[in-house]
Every structure is written in structure tokens, then in C-alpha cells.
Structure 1
């Protein structure tokens, strides 16, 4: 089998022993005369937050290059007039393994997209989207001078590639890809700027603060990641009693879950379902003393705009996505690995001798056994001001 550091392009990557060392691992040869970089990352909110440090690394290594995110329509809306490492968003078509179509959106024509994208004359194209079965052919089709990215078993290779291994922190995974093209890490902490427009929209919706704010986000697309509404309600009661005003945020699809939290809380809370754009939600979280959430995009958004967080994680997702920093973040782990209904091992089948079965049809919560008292204790710990320094 070829080395993960094999490179068939004219800008060949040296074997591992010749790579420059860095804090996070080896760094490949920087590509010369780079004017335009394409980065494919067209999936969900949390996935995008994880790639921000890699984009920062590319900006530092190639300060004069234009960085073009190949993303979804919501990326274009979020990144409009927002400072950061992305200069422009090019919306990729909805296609299998690339991105799901939005409401009312038809699948796109990938061949037509690639024909137009090749006219951009990208110098570098990076795949930080997944294992590469569908995404590597798209990135290769951009016609860039050098391609780099991830490669799962059976996926076609790019010019410079790293083996995709499921259990790896997502931030580090994408930083390693950036390093393949000579862009060492400048940070491991995702950071997203909040704009004046974000703050103005949030203020118009939420009004002036009467008490310090805490936000709860009880939803998640994957229902197995959802902590029960009654547990969030217990947190709401405790923090309301401590003097905080509690927002309960959710998407329109999570209305029922938000309503269940509000009904069970027994104290006044402020549901916010579909009232805030993504930028305004970021601003609201930035003004919160704490955000308590399932492992889902808003949790990682809150951390990226500087809010302290308590996150409820299934243990496998904790490995891949929980912040490694403890100054402002407390991930709480649930250790359930077998379906509570049928007992099937639902850990990803990454080794032949331990197949697992992520396709169990039951979508009950795998985090329901996390005690509310543990989340409340973590929340109060983060909300308690540190003692004054002498």
C-alpha cells in the first residue's frame, strides 16, 4: 500500500521523515505562487465550526491568497460581511455524499458546477469534508495544481492525503490536512467573529437584559444525542432560582422539544424558536453567562463566540468533538454504547473484529442517564466568579 504521504503531483510532498516538525505533527512543503485556495466543507454547523482553525492556518501560511469555501447556501449567508479566514463562499450543488438538498431544493448538476469552478483556476484544493468516497472526485475535478485531503478505505486518493480514522478530534483532523500543504496550526480553538449587525438583530429580538442570561439548547438532529426535556427543565429551575434569565433555543423542527422543556420547567423561561438568524444566535450566545446544550451545532457555535458551555455528549462524540479546554467548558459524558431497546452495539464499526452496528433502527436517547445534578454542578462551577487575585 502506498504511504499516506505519497504525492503524484508536480509539487511533491516529501516522505514523513523529511517533513518539518511542528507542535501538532509534520508539516509538508508549502506550495509556491498560490493565489486561490478551495476548501470543501459543505455539511452542518458544528462540522463547520471544527474546520475554523484549519482555515486560520491556511490564512497564516498563505496570507495573500483568496480562500474560497465550497459550502452550502447557509455558509454564504453566515459569511456575508463577516471578518475571518474565508474570503468567499462558492455554493456546491446538492448531491449524494456532498450535501443534502435544502427545503424545496432540487439536486444540482455536479458536472456543470465543476466546469464553472475550473475557470476559477484554483492553485490548492482541500477536502476536509469526510472520508472522500464522493468528495475526493469532486475536489480532484476542480483542476487545482495540488489537491490534499482525507482518504478512507476505498476512496480515491488526492495528491497529498491522510488516512481517515474515525476516532480523532475533528479540529485536529482538519489541522493535519492543512499541514499537508505547509500550513501549520496557529490555534486549536475555533473562533467566529460576531458582527455589529448580529448584535443589533439579537437585541431587537431579545430586548434589554433584565438579569444575566443562560441559554439551554435541548435539540439535536440525531435524537440519540438528546438529553431528555425534563432534565433540561431541572437545569432551568435551578438556574432561574440562582437569579438567571433562561433562554431555550431551537430550530423550527425542534419546537416540540422546546415546548416540552418550557412546560416541565415550572418557572418562566424564554423560548426562542426560529426567532434569530444564525448570526443573531451567535450574538445571543456571546452575551450569555453560560450555554447548556446537547452535542450539536449550537453548542460548538456558543464556544466559538466565547461563551462558557456545559455539553452533554455520548462518549464517542466526546472523543471527536468536545473542547479539550476546561477553563470555560465542561463536557459531561454518557457511557451508553449499546442500544437501550435492542442491546445492539452502536459504536462505529471501525475494526473487523468489532463490527458494531451504527444502523440500529432505534433512535432513543443514548445520553438519558446523565444525571441532572452533574450538569447543574458543572454549570454553577462555571458561573461562580473566580476568587480575586492577590
Structure 2
């Protein structure tokens, strides 16, 4: 009898004598989390090697003293196709050359290209001169010693597992995960206090406005949760202050806004104590899942292929298929489906998305709706087995 594997096998040979591994992955929170199973595979395949993440400044803050497969972080210079500079961050040409020289002095044995298709990232990695390079390659990118084709629509976790399999690293887990430490828990306790009843967190922001469910829908979910006895938090970054305010203002019940009050680690600790986190497809949604919280994720069209959950026991994915601008009707998916005739698009951006957002009420099956006007969001979560006993008394209060 033949069997098939549901995860990538190790497709390349282990490289002997590996002491230092560099992994280029310098983007945002969710992007890093999707790569954690691949990093765990590298750690298992090369247990004696030092794993260095070539990342962004936030990685240094988040991963410092945090147990996991990354031993240290080296911040890469901001550059087109790599990462944007942080506020106040400036690199001179001499700084960039010092970074490259220091990288060459490291004498990395393996360099893994996990940062997009490689048009910009592969030259950066190659400038450090690792003994062997491997990873993802788009048609417009330079070659690596070992590579697989970068394709637009592929589950992100599988994408990076396939990439590290090129150097003999077999999967040890499919689940993104991060460790929550004592400092994280203390930060969350200081800001949010100790839970006295089940908590529900809403995260209504997203970098791409097409992925934002309208704030009035989040407000309806918050009211439904509060009616069942939940303490409701609405989380967001400084840039999301407006949408967080719109959600809390639209709720009849009181809610606690937390805007730019917690570090990434503190936010993770807050989510650990939540019965459920309801969020758009953005970093905090994936952070909640990575620390074991139950989630309901709101996804726009093909994004669910790449970043949707693998399992439904604790995670529910709801999709919208709204493909056109609600203001002018123009197609807005050219970058998602570049080979289709999607028309010229439009530039209505956030204003258009804010009027319509992710239309789950129209597109989801009836039993999976979290609709406007007080629809039974918590009934959906309870029916689907998403709410577990994450807080004392949850079962007694009718949350399971």
C-alpha cells in the first residue's frame, strides 16, 4: 500500500560541518510566525548550529531572551523589497557596507532565503557569502545553490518548510508557535489587570484596508460577547487608533481599548488569557493562534489560501469574496491574480474599503455568519467548539 505525506519531506541532503546558519526573513509579525515551523525544522536538523535571523529591529526586541529556534537577530539595512526604515532609523552607505563586511566575517555555512521571491533579498543574502544558499526563487530573482519556485498562492507554513527541506530539514511541527515569558505576563497584567471573567479580544485593524471588516460589525460581536458576560478588549497599534475608537464608540456595552499599550510579547500574553480572539487576517490574529488562543479570522479572497488555519478545532476562518471597489465597481485584485484581466483598478483605497470592508454577512454560509445588528457571534463560536475553558468558570458561565 502506498501512502502520501501531507507535509514536505526533506528533499535535499544535510550539509556537513554546519556551525552557523543565516535565515533572511525581515518583515512583519505574521510573516515571522509563519516561518517558525521552518525555523524549528532547521534547529532539529542542525542542533549544534547557531541560527541567526537576518531580520528587522522589532525582531531584536521581541526575540531577546525568548526561548525558541532563533539564537540571535542581526538587523538588515532598510532597502526596497527588504523592509522599510523605522521612524528615525538611518543607514549610510558606509553602514550598509559594514553590515556586509560583518556578515562575511561570520562565515555562515548556510544562508536561507525565506524573504519573498528573492529579486531583492537574494542579492543581499549572497553579499554575505554563505558557503551554500537555498530557498525561494521567483522568475526575476538570481539563482541560489538549491531553490524551489516561489508561487503566489501557497500556504505560507508549507512554503517555508519546503524551502528548508532543500537542506535536509524535515518538519517537526506544522503549527506556528512562540513562547510567552514571565516578563510578557507581567506586562499584560500591569496593563490589563487580572481577569475576573472570560475575556474576548477584538482586533479590527489590518495593514491592507481590503482586509478590514467594518468596525460596526466588530462592535456587534463585542456587544454579543459582553451580553454573555465577557470582558471585551479592542486592541490596535498607534496607526489603528481610529478604527479601535470606531469599534468602542459603536458598542452599546463598555469595552477596553488597548492602543499601542503593549509590546508584541505583552499582547501575546493578553491573548493567552482570552477565551477567543476575533481579528482580521493580520499579525495579531496569527500571534493569538501561535500562543494557543482560540481564534475567528476574517479573510479576504485568496489570502485564506496563504494564511488560513490548518485546523478547525480551535480556529475558524470566514471568507469574503468581495472583488470590486464598492465606490466605483473597478476590480481590485490585479496583484493577487496578475494573469487575469482585472481591469485598471482604482485608487479609492482605504476610503472605499471603509465603506464596505469584508462582506462576510453576505458571503458566509448562514450558520457561519458573524453579521451586523447583533448576530449571534458567540452562538457560532460555541456551536463550533471554539470556546474552550481558557479562563476559570468559563464552563460554569455557559461559554463551552
TM-score (normalizing by structure 1)? 0.89
Q: Distance in 2 between matches of 1:369 and 1:135?
A: 36
What's the secondary structure of 1:34's corresponding residue? coil
Please tell me whether the aligned partners of residues 22 and 184 of structure 1 are also in contact (alpha carbons under 8 angstroms).
no
Deviation at 1:345, TM superposition (A): 3.0
Task: Indicate whether 1:179 and 2:179 are aligned.
Answer: no
Q: What is residue 98 of structure 2 aligned with on the other side?
A: 112
Q: Distance in 1 between matches of 2:164 and 2:306?
A: 18
Distance of aligned partners of 1:350 and 1:290 in 2 relative to their CA distance in 1, 3 Å threshold: closer
Task: Indicate whether 1:53 and 2:37 are aligned.
Answer: yes
Deviation at 1:196, TM superposition (A): 0.6
Please tell me whether the aligned partners of residues 7 and 158 of structure 2 are also in contact (alpha carbons under 8 angstroms).
no
Number of aligned positions between the proteins = 367
Q: What is residue 243 of structure 1 aligned with on the other side?
A: 229
Task: Indicate whether 1:152 and 2:152 are aligned.
Answer: no
Distance of aligned partners of 1:213 and 1:163 in 2 relative to their CA distance in 1, 3 Å threshold: same
Deviation at 1:274, TM superposition (A): 1.1
Deviations 1:71-95 (A, max 9, x none): 0110000001100000000000111
Q: What is residue 58 of structure 2 aligned with on the other side?
A: 74
Deviation at 1:152, TM superposition (A): 1.0
Distance of aligned partners of 1:344 and 1:191 in 2 relative to their CA distance in 1, 3 Å threshold: same
Q: Distance in 2 between matches of 1:286 and 1:49?
A: 16
Task: Indicate whether 1:200 and 2:186 are aligned.
Answer: yes
Unaligned runs of 5+ in 2: 362-370, 396-400
Deviations 1:50-80 (A, max 9, x none): 1000000000000010000000110000001
1:124 pairs, out of 110, 116, 121, with 110
Q: Which moved more, 1:269-278 or 1:362-371?
A: 362-371
Q: Distance in 2 between matches of 1:375 and 1:342?
A: 31
2:156 pairs, out of 154, 157, 170, with 170
Q: Distance in 2 between matches of 1:352 and 1:214?
A: 38
Deviation at 1:350, TM superposition (A): 6.8
1:102 pairs, out of 86, 89, 96, with 86
Unaligned runs of 5+ in 1: 1-20
Task: Indicate whether 1:216 and 2:218 are aligned.
Answer: no
Deviation at 1:368, TM superposition (A): 3.0
Please tell me whether the aligned partners of residues 9 and 171 of structure 2 are also in contact (alpha carbons under 8 angstroms).
no
Q: What is residue 360 of structure 2 aligned with on the other side?
A: 370
Deviation at 1:360, TM superposition (A): 3.5
Deviation at 1:279, TM superposition (A): 0.6
Q: Distance in 1 between matches of 2:228 and 2:183?
A: 31
Deviation at 1:22, TM superposition (A): 8.5
TM-score (normalizing by structure 2)? 0.87
Distance of aligned partners of 1:152 and 1:242 in 2 relative to their CA distance in 1, 3 Å threshold: same
Please tell me the root mean square deviation across aligned C-alpha atoms, in Å: 2.0
Please tell me whether the aligned partners of residues 28 and 182 of structure 1 are also in contact (alpha carbons under 8 angstroms).
yes
Q: What is residue 87 of structure 1 aligned with on the other side?
A: 71
Deviations 1:80-113 (A, max 9, x none): 1100000000000111111100112224543331
Where do 4+ consecutive residues of structure 1 move more than 4 Å? Answer: 348-353, 374-377, 384-387
